[in-house]
Structure 1
């Protein structure tokens, strides 16, 4: 089975064309080498996929006939992704929402002064 079709079947991508695009960008590796979308996947291949700033790693256990349900995905692959990758992504997401909520508009005069004070203090540290 082609790698783009496999990634679509085991629900890493919503459409097969998204999987193909990821392969063309070099975000998919099979056994350490960059894979084109037409590369064939065999059982015991180790696949590394870069998606949403996370490097997913998994091993192919079996080849599905067609797209499988979310509950059946673990039959066809073994997830080897370290938990630290997910924790780092979560910390990055939380750090972006720390100061201001998205869509809260421009900073107020007080916010602007606090930002300026922060940058002045950081320059003194150098």
Structure 2
């Protein structure tokens, strides 16, 4: 290998986007891998400069091919073969640390329950 192109499943596996070559092939068959916007078959060739989209954990990751790995290497070695173009995630919506209930809304508190019982004439009966 190491020529002008490699198979897309080999590239996905070689840059450590899939743990095994068969997982990379399965991802291609399922339509989770796109090359330059088109759904890729496992045997499709990937060349330098191509844009590869891989669906991982429910999100699309976008990569530009900057190298063609001859074999699967370390994570540092794999990082030399792609450029991550994935846009940053949207900021999370801030939630209040504690939910504040308006007085009179929802279930009555213990104190409110005693007041209601007193109004209804059920003071200490029980």
Q: Could you say whether these structures have the same fold, taking a TM-score greater than 0.5 normalized by the shorter chain as the test? A: yes
Question: What secondary structure sits across from 1:84 in the alignment?
Answer: coil
Return 5+ residue gaps in structure 1 as ranges. Answer: 92-116, 118-126
Q: How far did residue 83 of structure 1 move?
A: 1.8
1:48 aligns with 2:48: no
Query: Hey, what's the Cα distance between the residues in 2 that align with 1:55 and 1:68?
Result: 24
Report what 2:32 is aligned to: 27
Which whole-Å deviations, capped at 9, do the CAs of 1:15-56 have from their partners, x for residues lacking one?
Answer: 000000000011100000000000011000000011111101
1:67 aligns with 2:72: yes
Query: Hey, what's the Cα distance between the residues in 1 that align with 2:64 and 2:78?
Result: 12
Query: Hey, what's the Cα distance between the residues in 1 that align with 2:8 and 2:15?
Result: 11
Q: How far did residue 72 of structure 1 move?
A: 1.8
User: Which protein has the bigger helix share?
Assistant: 1
Report what 1:122 is aligned to: none
Question: What secondary structure sits across from 2:45 in the alignment?
Answer: coil
Give runs of aligned pairs for residues 94-105 of structure 1, distance below 5 A. none
Give the TM-score taking structure 2 as reference length.
Answer: 0.66
Greater than 6 Å deviation, 4+ residue runs: none
Give the TM-score taking structure 1 as reference length.
Answer: 0.66
Which whole-Å deviations, capped at 9, do the CAs of 1:37-83 have from their partners, x for residues lacking one?
Answer: 00011000000011111101000001011002111222100001112
Query: Hey, what's the Cα distance between the residues in 2 that align with 1:39 and 1:79?
Result: 21
Bigger Rg over Cα: 2
1:16 aligns with 2:21: yes
